[in-house]
Amino acid sequence: MEAIQPILAKRFEEIEKRILSVLDQLNDDHVNWRPNESSNSIANIIMHLRGNIGERVTKGIHHKDFARNRDQEFETVYASQSELRDIIRQSFQELIETARNISEEGLQRTQTVRNAEITNLDLLVQMAAHSSEHMGQILYIAKICLDDKYITTTIPKKRDKQAIDIYNEGR
């Protein structure tokens, strides 16, 4: 059976690649747009992902200082597209390297998350699901902003020649 570390690292690499691919299509107005007052912008979602990775990986696994204000992640925020790209790159690099290099013993160590003890393995699996959920939100907001100019980050429909060419170049 294949070890879980490369599987998790690959999943995080795919999520990072797709988020960066969609960010490349957006401008500063797009990444800060909120569908309505009770919804988040792409900037909010990325700040939230950074907070989650910082709290669970930087602090929880690596035992480094990280201060998080989760509520603030959802306040109205303005960030440039390039700032958000940097945050995604840095955050996912830490996550990917951690997933790739954590030992079996490290996977079995525990940390407290929401008043429950969980293993680092459980935590990394949860983070893969959590990151995927938020990636979906980012992609959906991008589709709303770009409409027919949106280029898919996965296998395109057969009728979308431009997206097929871009998809094939990235493989």
What domains appear along the chain, each with residue ranges and CATH number? Answer: 4-169 (1.20.120.450)
Q: Using 50, 70 and 90 to split pLDDT, how confident is the model at 165?
A: low
pLDDT computed for residue 114 by the predictor? 86
Record the tokens describing residue 96, joined without a space.
Answer: 């990917």
What share of residues in the chain are helix, strand, coil (percent, to 5)? 65, 5, 30
Record the tokens describing residue 108, joined without a space.
Answer: 């079995």
pLDDT computed for residue 97 by the predictor? 98
pLDDT in tens, 2-58: 699 999 999 999 999 999 999 999 999 999 999 999 999 999 999 999 999 999 999
pLDDT computed for residue 160 by the predictor? 61
pLDDT in tens, 110-139: 999 889 999 999 999 999 999 999 999 999
Find out whether 25 and 150 touch, Cβ atoms under 8 Å.
yes
From 56, 76, 82, 80, select the one nearest 68 (Cα to Cα). 56
Q: Using 50, 70 and 90 to split pLDDT, how confident is the model at 155?
A: confident
Q: Using 50, 70 and 90 to split pLDDT, how confident is the model at 96?
A: very high
What does each C-alpha distance from 63 to 26, 43, 75, 105 come to in angstroms? 35, 27, 27, 16
Q: How far apart are CA 51 and CA 78, in angstroms?
A: 16
pLDDT in tens, 46-92: 999 999 999 999 999 999 999 999 999 999 999 999 999 999 999 99
Q: How far apart are CA 163 and CA 133, in angstroms?
A: 23
Q: How far apart are CA 57 and CA 72, in angstroms?
A: 19
* Mean pLDDT on 96-118: 95
CA angle 161, 167, 169 (to 5 degrees): 105
Q: Is the pLDDT of residue 94 over 90?
A: yes
What does each C-alpha distance from 24 to 3, 19, 21, 38, 93 come to in angstroms? 33, 9, 5, 26, 18
